Structure 1
């Protein structure tokens, strides 16, 4: 009798988990890693914004270099946990933690990020829901799963990459759809998992973060079948938890490096914010929420707002003494040790950045542990309380002194207008019956793919296709309209920053050169 395939190694196509003729590795998970790295969707990440456009400077991370670091950190965490005699049996009980799996998931986790980073994600979600009535809208994590299971053609079956169940499950940071699955949906829990809650400003719209569109529900079910009885339906696999934590670590460290290098992250305002809070913590704690909000631009006040927000959201781990220690450490090791000397490209400046990066990466990776019964706001793999607080403070510095800058907002408003115009121009092209035989081949293929998917869903569960209007699609015409919307969103999400800008120039008549990028057309 032939050996049964390990359910973790099962592929979407139900073919053998062994390598195909075009694969170099023997291990199924190394095969997955190689397929992700060979994908054009992976290559395009080199031209996709992390926070702001690198513009060819080489000084700022893009989505490709970010993904490489996430994979590196994820593998290090997995190897350390596997070597721990206390943690290893817990990992096995929860379904396994293979370093190759977490590395492949780390490389693949941002494949679905659209042009211009998180700003592009917000714009495409708004257009998908309100212009095209797509029930799922757009979400970068869900788009990543859609790419590896559906829209990429680099696998042996030309439908996705045909990855193993373990790697697909490890990509699911948020293993639920926006609105419907699993049932009951985790957004209705008394203490919802991180990302499952609805946005306060948009009640009734479903979870703010999710990793699966309704078109990939079968993929979620198949990839998580190997973990049945080990994990709750809404809980990340251990490998997804490792990848998610590695993403947080990489984000907390290298974005600060980037903005120090280009002179955006300045010593004085960060030192004033952290120093004032440490000196006046008791006085700030006595202010009302309203006073604190009104004076948020004064030193220390935004940090006090963070402390209170942590108490509201993460009472399971937050501790004021640990928060004080975290602020003190960040002030000493970020503000006084790195930001104190402006970056001038010298060997001394480069060494200060490298020292900050290596010290913090090792500290955070070494602070990992695995627990059998975590709170709903955490995965099974988590940072120790001291390091958890430190990550929150590092991310606060990035948000307060980089993301909230008016000059960045000015730049991003222009990018939002660009993406909106591009989506509208492509929709008009799709609607022009006189031009139907001259559409980009890839866009036409995406329309046919989405049409097939939506027809199948309409035949089995029409409720999954109810969008912002509250009405199901009306007949074949309604299905076709949904498919066109999804195709445009898929198409635009697969562009680099520069491809999006150049394509809009061509469509609006501002370019004298014919559009010729083969990956797009």
Structure 2
């Protein structure tokens, strides 16, 4: 197939890629996928990630990672994995019938994968999802991955047609980490599979709400279908493309390593409690294996109990790969290299401490990237590109350490409760402005435009695919007023999710009258 006939290079507007004007300047790269990478890197949605929380607020966090530095590291790892696949004759032969693996596509998808993360990271994601479903009746709710896809296809205006970034099908498909909608697509929905793909199952505590993870809203369904067209017959409808699988694996690798670095650097991740957890489980694994679930849950704060809970959870969810011997070895490896080597000496800012941190990061990144495998027939719980068994277990243990000794800390919970309250209050204030007939004409221009955009989208759905237009309770949405209410909710969520942490705080202060000086910052996202 000639290059100009490559369906993967077809852009959102339906044209095969040509050198085009994007965001007011000509694309500079020759490769259509490199042009996509440049468009994403030049987007202000990408720049704003420097002010968005990774785990703790980016504001005043010194050398801690934010969503921008995280995305850059994921892109670095994704490109390394893709180049290894392209450079290996066997791996290349496996992926070519599946649509191929272009390093530029994988890198572009990695840069774009977190564009939709709202202020305050995953905490903000949960708050906005709850608001979208419960306050506005949006069955799609809010999901960071779906918001990323909405940005690159709809709400960013830097593409030639001012609707999204006009990216190629290959890159758009590679951003679809979870290539389904929350409820409606595809049919049958992957949530109903005997072993659902990772993220497709409903949350245990929220039955009837649809998949816990998904990569597009109903408003972007037509675009999702077009992006996936070149891969029809090569990967299953619910499967990631190879390049999406590369991006997903790279995200896991980066996340498992750099958050541990951050919290060692600021003294949160302490040697003693982590060592006690891993050592107690390793020396008493037979004893823990005999405990009933109730006892395990009741004693979860005692050393060793939470790690045993992880082992059982992996058996329940990932029987396709979990192995007790590999888990034991992973615990031993993490205990040696993270606990006994890195955490043994508190970080004091010295050259020696910085070198130890850099060595830890480089060694683990290399180990995990070198452990990446390619398979033609993956489990439903995995993509075609995945970590080998040893590395997969090591990542699970590293993530456990992060969750157990960082995310579950009461002081972080206290901080996050305040952030959740801030976002809810900000949504209330903006919504009140939207329904104030005397003041609606003075809305921030970006919010006004987002309302018009969402109204056009939901009106089109009501006319063309009304089965997709349902409220959070599953009831059909009928009538202009109900359609407008959905549009208002989506617009407010789009607007708030596009703020940085600092902008969210400052905007609430301004709209609540807590600052005396005139408001001067433009919200152009």
TM (normalized to structure 1)? 0.99
Report matched runs for 1:97-112 at 5 Å.
97-112=101-116
> Which stretch of structure 1 is more off in the superposition, 50-59 or 477-486?
50-59
Could you list the structure 1 runs, at least 4 aligned residues long, displaced by more than 3 angstroms after superposition: none
Partner of 1:161: 165
**Any idea what SS the aligned residue of 2:89 has?**
coil
- Determine the C-alpha separation between the residues in 2 that align with 1:309 and 1:371: 25
Instruction: Summarize the Cα distance change of 1:3–1:353 in structure 2 as closer, same or farther, 3 Å threshold.
Output: closer
**Counterpart contact for 2:139–2:474, Cα < 8 Å:** no
Question: Match of 1:433, SS?
Answer: coil
CA 1:3–1:283 in structure 2 vs 1: closer, same or farther (change >3 Å)? closer
How far the C-alpha of 1:165 sits from its partner, in A, is 0.4
What's the CA shift for 1:3? 7.0
Secondary structure in 2 matching 1:480: helix
Contact 1:101 1:239 in 2 (8 A): yes
8 Å Cα contact 2:444/2:523 also seen in 1 = no
**CA offset at residue 476 of structure 1?**
1.0
Corresponding residue of 2:224: 220
Aligned residues of 1:18 and 1:26 also touching (Cα < 8 A): no
Whether 2:515 is the aligned partner of 1:518: answer no
Work out whether residues 495 and 520 of structure 1, in 8 Å CA contact, stay in contact via their aligned partners in 2. no
Within 2, Cα distance between the matches of 1:162 and 1:341? 50
Query: Does 2:155 align with 1:151?
Result: yes
For 1:12 and 1:446, locate their aligned partners in 2 and report how far apart those are by CA, in whole Å. Answer: 20
Q: 1:376 aligns with which of 366, 380, 383?
A: 380
Superposed CA deviations along residues 219-278 of structure 1, whole A, max 9, x for unmatched, are 111111110100110000000000001000000000000000000000000000001111
Maintained 8 Å contact 1:175/1:234? yes
* Counterpart for residue 142 of structure 1: 146
- Aligned equivalent of 2:118: 114
What's the CA shift for 1:516?
Answer: 1.8
Task: Show the 5 A alignment for 1:259-338.
Answer: 259-338=263-342
Residue correspondence of structure 1 range 33-432 to structure 2 within 5 A: 33-432=37-436
Q: Deviations over 1:474-519 (max 9, x none)?
A: 3111111110000000000000000000000011110112222123
Q: Deviations over 1:425-473 (max 9, x none)?
A: 0000000011121111100100010011101110122221112233322
Q: Is residue 487 from structure 1 mapped to residue 497 from structure 2 by the alignment?
A: no
SS at match of 1:260: helix
Question: Does 1:442 find its partner at 2:436?
Answer: no
Q: Does 1:508 align with 2:512?
A: yes
CA distance in 2, matches of 1:469, 1:313: 28
Structure 2 residue 20 is matched with structure 1 residue 20 = yes
Displacement of 1:520 in angstroms is 4.5
- Please, what is the CA RMSD of the aligned residues? 1.2
Distance 2:215 2:61 in 1: 32
Residues 1:465 and 2:464 aligned together: no
- Whole-angstrom distance in 1 between the partners of 2:387 and 2:510: 48
Q: Deviations over 1:29-54 (max 9, x none)?
A: 11001100110100000000000013
Q: Secondary structure of 2:284's partner?
A: helix
CA contact (8 A) 1:33 1:100 kept: yes
Q: 2:7 maps to which residue?
A: 7
Counterpart CA distance in 1 for 2:294 and 2:518 is 56
- Please state how far the C-alpha of 1:58 moved relative to its aligned partner: 2.6
Residue 386 of structure 2 aligns to a residue in which SS?
Answer: strand
Question: Is the Cα–Cα contact under 8 Å of residues 240 and 383 in structure 2 kept in the other structure?
Answer: yes
Describe the shift of the 1:484–1:277 C-alpha distance in structure 2 as closer, same or farther (beyond 3 A): same
User: Structure 1, residues 85-139: CA drift from partner, whole Å, max 9, x if none?
Assistant: 1111111011110000000000000000000000000000000000000120000
Give the whole-Å Cα distance in 2 for the aligned partners of 1:289 and 1:503: 46
- Give distance in 1, aligned partners of 2:65 and 2:507: 24
Say whether residues 1:499 and 2:522 are aligned partners: no
Give the Cα separation in 1 of the matches to 2:3 and 2:71: 35
Give the deviation of 1:4 after TM superposition.
4.4
Between Structure 1 and Structure 2, how many residues are aligned?
Answer: 521
Shift of 1:203: 0.4
Rounded to whole Å, the distance in 2 between the matches of 1:336 and 1:54 is 29
Return the alpha-carbon distance in structure 2 between the equivalents of residues 403 and 328 of structure 1. Answer: 23
Task: Please tell me whether the aligned partners of residues 101 and 242 of structure 2 are also in contact (alpha carbons under 8 angstroms).
Answer: yes
CA distance, structure 2, for counterparts of residue 502 and residue 262 of structure 1: 26
Offset at 1:390? 0.2
Cα distance in 2 for partners of 1:91, 1:476 equals 48
Does the CA contact (< 8 Å) of 1:53 and 1:116 recur in 2?
yes
SS of aligned partner of 1:477 = helix
